[in-house]
Amino acid sequence: MTTLAVLGRGLLPRWKAVCVIVACILAFLLMGVAMVQSMDTNIYASLPPALLAMAGIPAGASAPVMSYTQMLGFLGAIAVAGFAVAVGAQLVAGEEKDGTLPLLLSHPISRVGVGATKAAVLVLAVGVTSLGLWGASALASLPFDLTLGDAHLGELCLALGANALVYGGIAFAVGGTTGSRGLALGAGSAVLGLGWLFAGLLPQWSEGRDLAQFIPWYWYSKPTVLLNGIDGGYLALMLGVAAVLLAVGVVGLVVRDLRRAATRTRPARHATTRWTGSAAGRGPSRYRLLVSRHTGLLLVLGVVMFAVMGLLMGPLYEQMAPQLEMASKSLPPELMQVWGATDMASPAGFYWGETMSLMAPAAVILTGAAVASRLGSDERSGRLGVLLSTPTTRTRMLATAMAAQATLVALVAGLTGLGIWGGVKLGGLDLATENVAGATAHLLALGLFIGSAALLAAAALGTPAAATWTATGVGLVGYVINTTMPMNPDLADWARISPFHWYGAANPLENGANWGNVAILLVGSAVLLAASFLLFTRRDLRV
């Protein structure tokens, strides 16, 4: 097998994902521009240049261009970085787990060649996606006849691509050196999420301002590329770090294969026996096996959400309270309303803005999607067919997957709530325990709803990609709808179609749980799960 064939084999399965990302960001840009244009933008005419820049409006540009900052500069960067993490984790560790990497290495191609080609797949996939976003960002301005002014769209797409390569490189390096797809996904996702958080938080804290310079997301966000253009130093830094990480992944693949070549086939030889034994009543239960297969992901997310996003935030807020209050007062109330920003000067607003608005939902969505994706992986690999040949039923198999998913989502949500409660106690903050518990219930309900949607996709289509993209789509589209629709009072009611509305509209961290909203999400989860049983038990398995 030639290097070109390996390169094509790595790129072709990912063209759908690239198209989905570009199409979604284009739709988000059109939605964001339309929302801003439908509002009264006279407020921006009176703002000084400094506040216009803070709002994300380049010099000489129309006010609706501010939506590019959120939809392309933030959501686009998050989407491409998440895609890079998923690809980086799959290229070596994922294919090794599926058994396709050993088959590839049996061909007359060196391990170094395979590793270098896999790294090239990651670079090309991210590059094509960034190029597509550049075209989408230019296309989005045409229907509205926007004046882009000094907006640096091409340079922004270049910067977000370089930023994504850093996180994809982390996943590639971890996967190449350990062979664990779960650990690679967890490491890449954790660095991405925490980097986004602290790149915005540390510069507001005088004691931590210098530490922000070591965060990859800061290298991307600090230059404000849309307004100011690319910063050559930060771009070189991102590309250099990405190159080093990719090299580490290639070297790790070569060394680890040599060291473990004699024992590589043992897990593959006994995996099916272990699973069929559990289905037939021998050995550990399938439920325990499903939970244990996600221990690495649970460990990473648990530590991040409990220790960092929970415990650490309380003392951090106590230290930063004066700066946060000053920052909140410096923004006009109209801009706060337009951006949907929270009052970071209060403990509830701080914890909601930094932990519960994005990071916590991402953690429970990732957990639920991982279990649903495993169901699709088992079917694709043929393991599910072997399991169903034992004295077990499809109903039982699906119910076990649902129970494992609910357990893991509940653990992540519970650790998040426990961490917030501990952070409140450590920081001596004025935030009621019952409100923390209520917000945790909302988080659990959101995770179960989107996890159920992912499980429905896996049950209906039988592929891991269906589960992953369903969870990503419902989460991302729901977040955007809940963020943009309230910007226009005439369209605010449409936010109710988003699960994020029922999750956060009642401000549970400030006001306590709204059990009606929680019930809506739980009932929706039950409906999705019922549909999963109906579809899974009546269709043929994929072969």
Q: Cα(335)–Cα(316) distance, rounded to whole angstroms?
A: 26
407 and 290 in one domain? yes
Question: Tell me: the pLDDT tens digits for 381-395?
Answer: 677 777 766 777 888
* Number of domains composing the chain: 2
394 and 473 in one domain? yes
111 and 150 in one domain? yes
Angle at 306 between CA 300 and CA 312, to 5 degrees: 115
CB 313 within 8 A of CB 350: yes
416 and 463 in one domain? yes
Q: Cα(105)–Cα(118) distance, rounded to whole angstroms?
A: 13
Residue 179 lies in a domain: yes
| 156 vs 280, more confident | 156
Output the pLDDT for position 453. Answer: 96
Residue 165 lies in a domain: yes
Question: Tell me: the pLDDT tens digits for 476-490?
Answer: 889 888 888 887 777
End-to-end CA distance of the chain: 25
261 and 365 in one domain? no
187 and 243 in one domain? yes
Angle at 165 between CA 163 and CA 170, to 5 degrees: 110
Question: Tell me: the pLDDT tens digits for 26-50?
Answer: 998 888 888 777 765 555 555 555 5
Residues in the chain: 543
Neighbouring C-alpha atoms within 13 Å toward the C-beta of 440 = 22
Residues 6+ apart with CB under 8 A from 417: 310, 436, 437, 439, 440, 443
462 band by pLDDT with thresholds 50, 70 and 90? confident
Amino acid 499 reads P
Residue 468 lies in a domain: yes
Short-list 78, 61, 99, CA closest to 25 = 78
212 and 93 in one domain? yes
Whole-structure pTM value: 0.78
Output the pLDDT for position 266. Answer: 44
Short-list 58, 40, 41, CA closest to 49 = 58
Q: Is 210 left (phi over 0), alpha (psi -120 to 50) or beta?
A: alpha
Instruction: Specify the range with the lowest mean pLDDT, choosing from 166-170, 218-222, 394-398.
Output: 394-398
Angle at 392 between CA 388 and CA 394, to 5 degrees: 65
290 and 205 in one domain? no
208 and 91 in one domain? yes
Q: Cα(463)–Cα(467) distance, rounded to whole angstroms?
A: 7
Residues 6+ apart with CB under 8 A from 227: 53, 56, 58, 59, 150, 151, 152
Residue 307 lies in a domain: yes
Write the DSSP symbol of residue 304.
I
**Would you say residue 268 has pLDDT above 50?**
no
Give me the domain span that covers residue 413.
286-326+347-536
Output the pLDDT for position 62. Answer: 66
Residue 384 lies in a domain: yes
Last-in-domain residue among 266, 301, 317: 266
Last-in-domain residue among 221, 236, 266: 266
380 and 516 in one domain? yes
**Would you say residue 535 has pLDDT above 60?**
yes
Give the position of tokens 């994706």. 373
503 and 373 in one domain? yes
Residue 339 lies in a domain: no
440 and 388 in one domain? yes
Output the pLDDT for position 47. Answer: 58
Output the pLDDT for position 269. Answer: 44
Last-in-domain residue among 235, 266, 297: 266
Residue 32 lies in a domain: yes
Residue 116 lies in a domain: yes
**Would you say residue 501 has pLDDT above 90?**
yes
**Would you say residue 443 has pLDDT above 50?**
yes
Q: Cα(404)–Cα(300) distance, rounded to whole angstroms?
A: 18
